[in-house]
Amino acid sequence: MGRGIWDIDFSYVSYKMIQITFRKAELRDSNDILIWRNDIVTRQNSFNSEKISNEEHKRWIKDVIYSSEINLFIITNNYGNKLGVVRFNNKDNHTEINITIAPKYRNKGFGSKVIKQISNYYIKEYKISYIIAKIKPENIYSIKAFENVDYKFHKKYKNHIELKRKLFK
pLDDT of amino acid 14: 52
d(CA 132, CA 164): 5
Using alpha carbons, select from 85, 91, 97 the residue that is nearest to residue 122. Answer: 97
Signed CA dihedral, 106, 111, 112, 117: sign only: positive
* pLDDT at residue 1 is higher than 90: no
d(CA 111, CA 90): 21
53 exposed, middle or buried (CB, 10 Å; 0-12, 13-18, 19+)? exposed
pLDDT of amino acid 127: 86
Domains and their CATH numbers in the chain: 21-165 (3.40.630.30)
pLDDT of amino acid 106: 92
Give the pairing type, strands 161-165 and 152-156. antiparallel
Number of H helices, E strands in the chain: 5, 7
pLDDT of amino acid 167: 64
d(CA 125, CA 104): 30
3-state secondary structure 56-83: HHHHHHHHHHCCCCEEEEEEEECCCCEE
For 94, phi then psi, to 5°, come to -145, 180
For 45, phi then psi, to 5°, come to -95, 0
d(CA 123, CA 151): 13
Give the confidence band of 17 by pLDDT, cuts at 50, 70, 90.
low
pLDDT of amino acid 79: 87
* pLDDT: which is higher, 108 or 142: 142
Structure pTM? 0.86
Residue-wise pLDDT tens digits, 79-129: 889 999 999 999 988 899 999 999 999 988 899 999 999 999 998 898 888
pLDDT of amino acid 16: 58
- The mean of the pLDDT values for the chain is 89
pLDDT of amino acid 156: 96
pLDDT of amino acid 5: 43
Residue-wise pLDDT tens digits, 19-70: 899 999 999 999 999 999 999 999 999 999 999 999 999 999 999 999 999 9
